[in-house]
A and B are shown apart, each in its own frame.
Chain A
Amino acid sequence: MSPSLGIEAMSVFGGMAYLDVRELCDHRGLDMPRFENLLMQEKTVALPYEDPVTFAVNAAKPIVDALSAEERGRIEMVITCTESGIDFGKSMSTYLHKYLDLSSNCRLFEIKQACYSGTAGLQMAVNFIASGTSPGAKALVVTTDISRFALADANAVQEWAYSEPSSGAGAVAMLISDEPHVFRLDPGAYGNHAFEVMDTCRPGPDTEAGDADLSLMAYLDCCAGAYDDYARRVEGADFRQTFSQLCFHTPFGGMVKGAHRHLMRKLYKAPPAEIAADFEARLGPSLAYGKRVGNTAGGSVFVALAGTIDSVDLGEPQRVGLFSYGSGCCSEFFSGVILPEGQERLQAVEISKALDQRYRLSIAEYEALLSGEAVVRFGTKDAELDHQIIPGAWPASGAGDRLVLDGVAGYHRNYSWI
C-alpha cells in the first residue's frame, strides 16, 4: 500500500490592500455588459513595500510558527513557485529560509512554469517525501506571485488592459509530509497535457504579453486533455461521480465556468441547467477566495482548494479533483481527499479575516501605485521604501508577525517584521 502523503498544513496570504474590480472596470471604461458572468469582485494589489518574498513569508509564517522546534528542523526542502522572480540566480527560498528561521540542512530552490508552478512544486515535494530517502522529512512549498505590469511606459497600461481586472497577488504556503491532515493526495492519480504555445508570457521583468483568446483556448484544450490522461491512469474515474468538489486554476471565475461547461458537454452531453447546478455545487465553493484576491498565478489552484476546504460542509472526507494550468503551456489534473480535521486546521488560520482587514484602495491611490515610482524594480541596487506612501494601508499597531520590505542595499533586500 502506498504511504499517505500530501498537505499537512496550508495557509493563504492575500496582501495588505485591494481594489474593487467593478470600480476599476468602470474607471477604465471597459464595456462589460455581462460583468457578473466573469465572477470577479476584488483584487489584491501589492504595495511598494510588499514583494514576492513578503507575500511568501507571510503565507508560510503561521504554518511554521505552529510547529515545534523539532518539527521545524525537519523542513528539509523549500520550493518557491513563482513567475515573479526578483533575481536570475538567487532563489527566493533563501530569503524564506532566513525569515522563517529554518534549519541549515535544507534544499533551497525556485521553480517556474507560469501558473502551473505550484502544482509542479507540490508534485516535486511529494515525490521527495515518497522517495523515502529521508524518513519523516517535510517540505515547504510556497507559491508567490504579484502583478505589476504597467511600469514600462505610459502605454503599458493599455497593453495590459485585457488582464488588468483579473490580475491579483497572493501566496499559498503548503507543508508537505507523510502526515497529510489537510489534503491527502491520491497516489498515482494524475494526468498531464502540455504543448508549446505562445498564449501568455512575461518577456521582461515588468511586462506581461499575451492573447486572451489563445490562452483561453489552450486552457480548454488542456482541461480536456489532462482529464483524459487522468481517466486513462485511474481505473473507473468518472468526472461527474468521482469528485465531490472541484478546484480549477482560476484566472477569473468565468473562465472556470467555461472549462467546466466544456467538460460536462464533452463527456456527458449534459444540458445547460444540469451544468449550471453542478458548477454551483462543485465549483462554487472554490471561488471563495479567488474572487477576492484575483488571479494569483502559481497559487491560484490552491487558493481555490483553500476556499473549498474552508467553505464546504465537511462532515466526512471528500475527494477533490484539481486542474492546474500554466501558460506556455503545461497542465495537470490530479486528485486527493480533504478531511474534517484539515478544515479545522485551515479555519484556524483565519484567511477570510485577514482578507477583510486589507485596505481598500481608491482609484486615485491605485493609479499612483501603477506609475511605479515607489516600486523596487528588478535589478535595483539600492533603495529605501516609504512605508507611509499610503498612510491608511499601514497598520497602526502590528503584532510583529508580518514582513515588509524596508530597503535594498547592494542588491540585498532587507525586511522587517511589523
Chain B
Amino acid sequence: MDSSKIVEMIIAEIRETVPELADEPITGADSMAELGVDSIERSEVILATMGKLGVKIPMVQLHGPKNIGELADLILDKSAG
C-alpha cells in the first residue's frame, strides 16, 4: 500500500459521502474542509477509508492533516506502526 493509493480511496469516499462533489476535480492537495465537506462528513470519510483498508486507528490520532495527501500519509504511518 502506498500513500497515493490511499489518496484515491479517500477521494472516492468523499464523492460517495458528498454527492455534490461527485464530478468535481479533487486532488491530494485539496483540504476536505475547503471542498465544503463538513466535520461529520469528514469523520465519515476517514472511518470508511479505514474500514476499506482494514485498519483501526483511534480517530484522535488522525487529527491535524491540512489536506488529503497529508491525511493519507498519516493513515499509512499509523497503520504501519
Contact = CB atoms under 8 A, between A and B. Distances in A.
Interface of A: 31-34, 37, 195, 197, 199, 211-214, 216-218, 220-221, 254-255, 257-258, 261-262, 265-266
B59 A212 contact: no
B44 A221 contact: no
A210 to B, nearest CB: 12
Nearest to A218: B60
A37 B44 CA distance: 14
Interface residues of B, number: 16
19 contacts: A33-B36, A34-B38, A37-B40, A212-B39, A214-B60, A214-B63, A216-B39, A217-B43, A217-B63, A218-B60, A221-B59, A221-B60, A257-B40, A258-B43, A258-B44, A262-B43, A265-B48, A265-B51, A266-B51
B47 interface: yes
Given A197-B60, A214-B60, A214-B63, A220 B39 contact: no
A258 B40 contact: yes
A220 B47 contact: yes
A211 B43 contact: no
A220 B38 contact: no
Contact of B47 (A33, A199, A218, A262): A262
A212 B41 CA distance: 13
B63 A213 contact: yes
B43 A220 contact: yes
Interface in B39-78: 39-40, 42-44, 47-48, 51, 58-60, 62-63
B11 to A, nearest CB: 19
Contacts of B43: 213, 216-217, 220, 258, 262
B20 to A, nearest CB: 8
Interface of B is mostly: helix
Interface of B: 20, 36, 38-40, 42-44, 47-48, 51, 58-60, 62-63
Dominant secondary structure at the A interface: helix
Contact of B39 (A213, A221, A257, A261): A213
A39 to B, nearest CB: 11
Contacts of A214: 60, 63
Contacts of A32: 38
A25 to B, nearest CB: 13
Nearest to B47: A262
A213 B51 contact: no
Contact of A218 (B36, B40, B42, B59): B59
Contacts of B38: 32, 34, 37
Contacts of A266: 47, 51
- Enumerate the 9 nearest inter-chain pairs by beta-carbon distance, A residue then B residue, closest first: A217-B59, A258-B40, A214-B63, A217-B60, A221-B59, A221-B58, A220-B59, A218-B60, A254-B40
Contacts of B58: 221
Counting chain A CB atoms within 10 Å of each CB, which of B38, B48, B60, B62 scores highest? B60
A34 B20 CA distance: 11
A213 B42 contact: yes
Contacts of B63: 211, 213-214, 217
Contacts of A34: 38
B9 to A, nearest CB: 16
Given A217-B63, A221-B59, A255 B40 contact: yes
A213 B42 CA distance: 9
Nearest to A329: B60
A217 B39 CA distance: 9
